Amino acid sequence: MTVDALTRAANPALSADEALVRRARNGDAAAFEQLLGTRIDRCYRLAWSILSNDADAADATQEAFVLAWRQLPRLRDPAVFDGWLNRIVANAALMARRHRVRLREVSVRPAFPGDTAEPLEPPYDPLARTAIDNVPDNDAIGRAFDRLRPQERMILVLHHVDERPVAEIARSLGVPVGTAKWRLHAARAALEKALEAEA
């Protein structure tokens, strides 16, 4: 028995979730509803971190859960359900974002020199804060977060907000654990740098 398996065996909540995944995999919609109920906020937050928009995040979350339901019978190892689900959500959100960016590239191109297109990210107001604050407040960190690339925001949310293990994050992102660690380090550095610009 591996340490991983021992950890799972010692954690009844994990085992209970795996049982739910097995039942949902067999077509039990009530079990899927339970899985949905305990994960929808987290998945919505992940989608929102990529899309920064309630309506788009809701659409991406819905699309991801329906896809997960459809493909669930093909998931052989229930223990990897969360990483697998995160990946579907992230993918749905990234696809939605790409689609949105393409739409904006076509529809909001400036008509005349000097016209400005709608920015893809929240606008940066350099005069919003004029003094360096030694203790960054949540708002400043939040604004700095908005400046990051979607992939950076996503990995920070998975690690710092949802407290997902790095191995699961790696599975969610479809990258090796070492790469996930490096990306996390880089995202954190980017956040600190963006915070500096916010100060």
Partner 1 sequence: MSGRALTDAQIAAALRAHLPQRAQAGIEDRILDEVARTAQDRPLPKFVAGLWDADPTARRRYQLIAATLLVALTLAAVAGVGALLQDKRLPDPLSLEPPTDVRAYVVDAYEGVAELPALSITIVEVEGTKTRWTYNGTGVLRLDHYFSPNDPEPGLMRLYTDGVMAEEADLGGEQVWVEHGQQGKALAELAMATGLSTFCQADWAYVGLEYLIGRPVHRVKCGGLEMWLDIETGLALRSINAQDPAIGPTIEFTVVQLEIGPQPAELFLPPSDRRTVSGDVYDCSLDPACESPSVEPAPSMRPVVTPPPAPGDHAAPSDLAGFIADVLATHEGLPPLEMLVEEYRSPFGMDAQRRTFFDGSGRRRQEHIFDPSGARPPTVYLTTGGRTYESYGLTEDGRTLWQDLGPSPVAESGPDVPTLGLGEPCSEGWEHRGFDLVVGRPAHHLVCRYLEIWVDDGWRLVVRSQRNPDPLDFMTFVREVQEFRFEQPPAALFELPEDAVVCPGRVGDGVCLDDTGNPMPLPGASPSPSPSG
> Which is closer to partner 1, CB of 11 or CB of 119?
11
CB of residue 192 to partner 1, shortest distance in Å: 3
> Which is closer to partner 1, CB of 149 or CB of 185?
185
CB of residue 60 to partner 1, shortest distance in Å: 10
> Which is closer to partner 1, CB of 111 or CB of 127?
127
CB of residue 97 to partner 1, shortest distance in Å: 13
Q: What is the three-state SS of the chain? A: CCHHHHHHHCCHHHHHHHHHHHHHHCCCHHHHHHHHHHHHHHHHHHHHHHHCCHHHHHHHHHHHHHHHHHHHHHCCCHHHHHHHHHHHHHHHHHHHHHHHHHHHHHHCCCCCCCCCCCCCCCCCCCCCCCCCCCCCCHHHHHHHHHCCCHHHHHHHHHHHHCCCCHHHHHHHHCCCHHHHHHHHHHHHHHHHHHHHHHC
CB of residue 120 to partner 1, shortest distance in Å: 18
> Which is closer to partner 1, CB of 45 or CB of 108?
45
